A and B are shown apart, each in its own frame.
Chain A
Amino acid sequence: DSGVTQTPKHLITATGQRVTLRCSPRSGDLSVYWYQQSLDQGLQFLIQYYNGEERAKGNILERFSAQQFPDLHSELNLSSLELGDSALYFCASSVSSGSGNEQFFGPGTRLTVL
């Protein structure tokens, strides 16, 4: 158990819909990262927050957005869903945002878009 929690575990929805994935970091961790793992793309970095502020952006679609709240939990919002958005979404956390800080991953949310 990494100490990072993600809800829900599974999500099944239809194309065009909007969903919200939630992540609670390990106690004391200020930085949160979101990753997407699809069958054809592997694990890809989406976005990073540190203490409520966006710190780095990866290949995140404009239809996707995220935020980190004052209590440090984070939410990833996916809208206008397409079939290709079906994937595992992982959240990770680390103590700070710089180099030398290991990331601890949650169990993931499996999103299926029908």
Chain B
Amino acid sequence: DAKTTQPPSMDCAEGRAANLPCNHSTISGNEYVYWYRQIHSQGPQYIIHGLKNNETNEMASLIITEDRKSSTLILPHATLRDTAVYYCIAPSAGNKLTFGGGTRVLVKP
């Protein structure tokens, strides 16, 4: 798996956009970037994934740089329910996920 680096924590104001960065400078051409989050001790929740192009779904947007060495997850209007640990993962072939420390996001009122 490509190594990913995320800030350990960040705060965000409720209603504002949350921009979560991730570095994955060793990513190879066929490795996707996935984002998951885990709220307290619940099962991790899939958010979004992408290969080269930017992606958007009902939960978030994923912006991948042209060189694919980094990406940003954007939560457009953060709510208190978005408080969670967010994981950026770039699995190699086989799709097994390697979870690092993630970014602990605290959404404040």
* A residues apposed to B, CB below 8 Å: 2, 4, 31, 33, 35, 37, 42-45, 48, 55-56, 58, 88, 90, 92, 94, 97-108, 110
Contact of A99 among B31, B38, B46 (CB under 8 A): B31
What total of A-B pairs shows CB separation below 8 Å? 67
Q: Contacts A107-B42, A108-B41 known; A100 to B99 CB distance under 8 Å?
A: no
Q: Interface of chain A, helix or strand or loop or mixed?
A: strand
A31 contacts which chain B residues (CB < 8 A)?
95
B53 CB–A CB distance under 8 Å = no
Whole-angstrom distance between the alpha carbons of A45 and B87 in the complex? 14
CB within 8 Å of A: which residues of B?
30-32, 34, 38, 41-46, 49, 51, 91, 93-101
